Amino acid sequence: MSFTRLIYLLLVFVVAWCGYYLLTPKGNDAIQVAPDTELPLFSGTGLENITYGEDGVRS
């Protein structure tokens, strides 16, 4: 078997494995939790209010 045929055989194997991997069904392990409506969406802890003037200097 020549080197090019060996490379082609390896390439066919990789393509077949990728197709199998992409087409097989997978279980969805992601757990979705409903957002808590009592808590604010954005708490604002640890934030700094930084503004810049027109000349690009922080105020």
**pLDDT tens by residue, 7-43:** 999 999 999 999 999 999 887 777 877 776 666 667 6
DSSP label at residue 12: H
Whether the pTM exceeds 0.75: the reply is no
What is the structure's pLDDT at 39?
Answer: 66
What is the structure's pLDDT at 40?
Answer: 67
What is the structure's pLDDT at 59?
Answer: 67
Q: Give CA–CA dist 14/9, Å, rounded.
A: 9
Both structure tokens of 27:
């279980």
Q: Give CA–CA dist 38/19, Å, rounded.
A: 46
More confident of the two residues 4 and 42: 4
Residue 52 has pLDDT above 90, yes or no: no
Q: Give CA–CA dist 20/23, Å, rounded.
A: 5
CB 52 within 8 A of CB 58: yes
Question: 3-state class of 59 per DSSP?
Answer: coil
